[in-house]
Amino acid sequence: SAAEKGGYDYFMLKEIAEQPKAVADTLLGRIDGSGSLTLDEVRIPPRVLREIDKVVIVACGTAFHAGMIAKYAIEHWTRLPCEVELASEFRYRDPILDAQTLVIAISQSGETMDTLMALRHAREQGSKVLAICNTNGSTIPRESDAVLYTHAGPEVAVASTKAFLTQLVACYLVALYLGQVRGTKWGDEIRAVIRDLSSIAGAVEQVLGTMEPVRELARSLASKDTVLFLGRHVGYPVALEGALKLKELAYMHAEGFAAGELKHGPIALIEEDLPVVVVVPSARGRSVLYDKIVSNIQEIRARGARTIVIAEEGDEAVVPYADHLIRIPVTPTLLQPLVATVPLQVFACELATARGNEVDQPRNLAKSVTVE
C-alpha cells in the first residue's frame, strides 16, 4: 500500500532514501568510544582469527559485488589473501579449503540456495564460516559459525539497494576488525578509516540531495539500447553493480568493465552517442590509477561516446571530457563505493520508470532465489 511505501511511489525509492540510516544503523554500537571496533557478536575467537591464512568470500548478484569490494579492503588492511567467488560456481571446482580458511558468505535474504550450498561445502572441509546477512534467524546465519548482521531493515524491492550499502559497511568492519585483531602495519590508517566511516552516512545523505540531474539524464536516455559502465579498483565492482541494476530494472543491455580492459576488446563497442558511465577514483594524490582513467575517458570520447562521469567534488581535470558530470563527496579510496553506487541506483530506477517497467517487481526475478 501507499502507507507501506512511506509516501514514495516504489519501495525501491523508499529504500534508496533510507540508505543513510541503514548505514548508520549498521555501524551503531560497533565502534567504541576510543575508536576501536567491538565485534564481540562475531563468535569466532580472536585466537582463531589470528591463525587464518586465507579468506574466501561467496555470494551472488549484488552481494557478490559487495564481496569484490571487500577483497580490496581485506587484502589491503590485513595482508591476507582473499578470493571472491560466485556461490553458484564455488563448490563445483573443488576449492582449496581447510581449518585456516575463513569463508564469508554474504546474503541479504539469508535464504539464497547457491550461497547456502557453498557455505555447507566450506564447513564440510573444516573452514569457519562468517555470514553477513540482513535477515535475522534466516538459514544462512543459522548454518554459519558466526554472523554479522546488516541493519538495513526489511528490503522489499527486488533490486537490492540499502542492503548493498550495509553489506559494504559490514565488509569494511570485518576487514578492519581482522586488521585490528591480527595487528598490521596499517594501525594508524585503520584508526583513520574507522573515523571516516563514522561520518559516511552524512556523505550518502549529501549524494541523495543532488540526484535531480541524474534523474533528468536517465529520462533523456530512455530510448537507448545499451549503456556501458567503466571503473577501476573498487570502482570496477561499482561499475558491475550499475550495469546489473540497469539490466534488472530497465531491461537494457548494460555491461561493466574494468577500464584497463578497454583496450583489450571492449573499446570496439564504442560508437557515436553510446552512453558510457565512468566511475573516477579519488583525485587525491593524483594516483597513477586516476591519470589512467582520465585518459580512458579521453579515448572513448574521441570515439564518440557520450561520457557520464562520476567524480569527486573538486576534481577539475575530468571536467573537459565529461558530457555529464555527477559529483560525489570526497571519501577515502576504499570507501568510495558507498557514495558512488547511489547515483547508479537512482539512474536505473528512473530509467525503469521512464520505460514503463515495474520497478519493485522486475519481470522474471524473485526477491530471494531459493533454488539452485
Residue 308: beta bridge partners? Answer: 277, 324
Is position 160 an interface residue for ligand AGP (rule: CB under 6 A)?
yes
**What is the sign, positive or negative, of the torsion defined by CA atoms of 195, 198, 204, 206?**
negative
227 or 294, CB closer to ligand AGP? 227
Q: Which of 158, 293, 338, 351 binds ligand AGP (CB under 6 A)?
A: 158
**Phi, psi (rounded to 5 degrees) for 2:** -60, -40
Active site residues: 367
52 or 173, CB closer to ligand AGP? 173
Is position 115 an interface residue for ligand AGP (rule: CB under 6 A)?
yes
Is position 112 an interface residue for ligand AGP (rule: CB under 6 A)?
yes
Query: Which of 300, 281, 270, 209 lies closest to 239, judged by CA?
Result: 281
For residue 300, give every residue at least 6 positions away whose Cβ sits within 8 Å of its Cβ, in sequence order, or none: 230, 262, 267, 270, 276, 278, 307
CA distance 148 to 140: 11
78 or 345, CB closer to ligand AGP? 345
Three-class SS state of 278: strand
- DSSP, res 199: T
139 or 333, CB closer to ligand AGP? 139
Is position 16 an interface residue for ligand AGP (rule: CB under 6 A)?
no
CA distances from 269 to 68, 136, 227, 265 (A): 25, 44, 11, 8
Is position 166 an interface residue for ligand AGP (rule: CB under 6 A)?
no
By rule CB under 6 A, what string of x and - marks binding of each residue 233-262 to ligand AGP? ---------------x--------------
Is position 104 an interface residue for ligand AGP (rule: CB under 6 A)?
no
Q: Give the neighbor-by-neighbor strand order of the sheet with 253-258.
A: 253-258, 226-231, 275-279, 306-312, 324-328
With residue 25 as reference, give the H or E element that holds it.
helix 19-27
Three-class SS state of 338: helix
Is position 368 an interface residue for ligand AGP (rule: CB under 6 A)?
yes
Q: In the structure grid, which three cell numbers stand for residue 303, read together?
A: 570515439
Q: Which of 130, 147, 159, 346 binds ligand AGP (CB under 6 A)?
A: 159
Q: Which stretch binds ligand AGP (CB under 6 A): 47-55, 107-115, 294-302, 319-327?
A: 107-115
Minimal distance in Å, beta carbon 40 to ligand AGP? 25
Is position 107 an interface residue for ligand AGP (rule: CB under 6 A)?
yes
Q: Which stretch binds ligand AGP (CB under 6 A): 141-149, 154-162, 170-178, 199-207?
A: 154-162
109 or 127, CB closer to ligand AGP? 109
Residue ranges binding ligand AGP (CB under 6 A): 60-63, 107-109, 112, 115, 158-160, 248, 368-369
